Chain A
Amino acid sequence: DAGVIQSPRHEVTEMGQEVTLRCKPISGHNSLFWYRQTMMRGLELLIYFNNNVPIDDSGMPEDRFSAKMPNASFSTLKIQPSEPRDSAVYFCASSLTGVGSPLHFGNGTRLTVT
């Protein structure tokens, strides 16, 4: 079990640039989550996919953020254009669908927007 794989681990970009974060969930998991972690706001759920379909995107901060899951083994989170306040650690997590199923987190992407 390779775990949830995220890339890149670190991303430094300038304000206004497009940023794409990538996630490969654990094989067989049919739920995928994107979280953002900051000192000020803690862990925030951005979007939840089930069987590749976005179920809840109410946590996506604004239209600059978008997420896709074209197949069961890949998801992206895109920010366009990026702003300094987007600087955070972004985590992808996957799980089996079902009550009480724990989340398996990737190691995150640390995004710095200058």
Chain B
Amino acid sequence: AQSVTQLGSHVSVSEGALVLLRCNYSSSVPPYLFWYVQYPNQGLQLLLKYTTGATLVKGINGFEAEFKKSETSFHLTKPSAHMSDAAEYFCAVSDRDYKLSFGAGTTVTVRA
């Protein structure tokens, strides 16, 4: 069965600092991996996804993630945090069917 672990339920960064959100997965087959962002009182929006091919994936709003099979990781990064990045971020994995397993989420706060 597939599962996702997000390390750290809360992350606080200074504006302009690196954002690093950690995600580890388990999957019995090569997975599809996703990062979603949820702003207050809104639904989840896709940031980026990995299916096949290049292991470094670029997404919207300057975010990127790297698929590392040997580490079963898919960490999300952004070089310079902006106040508008304050939100909750979810990592998700799919075993190539319709079911997505979501992590518990990481809330990012950005300090001015």
Contacts and interface: CB of A to CB of B under 8 A. Distances in A.
Contact of B43 (A48, A55, A97, A107): A107
Interface residues of A, number: 22
15 contacts: A4-B43, A42-B105, A43-B90, A93-B43, A97-B98, A99-B51, A99-B94, A100-B94, A102-B46, A102-B49, A105-B36, A105-B45, A107-B41, A108-B41, A108-B42
Interface in B11-40: 32, 34, 36
Q: Is the interface of A mostly helix, strand, loop or mixed?
A: strand
Contact of A100 (B32, B41, B44): B32
Interface of A: 4, 31, 33, 42-43, 45, 48, 50, 55-56, 91, 93, 97, 99-100, 102-108
B104 A100 contact: no
B84 to A, nearest CB: 18
B51 A45 contact: no
A108 B94 contact: no
Interface size class of B (residues with CB under 8 A): 20 to 34
B32 A45 contact: no
B46 A43 contact: no
B10 interface: no
Contacts of B105: 42
Contacts of B102: 42-43
Nearest to B50: A100
Among B32, B49, B98, chain A packs the most CB atoms within 10 A around the CB of B98
Contacts of B97: 99
A55 to B, nearest CB: 7
A33 B101 CA distance: 13
Contacts of B49: 100, 102
A45 B100 contact: yes
Interface in B74-106: 90, 94, 96-100, 102-105
Contacts of B98: 31, 33, 48, 50, 55-56, 97
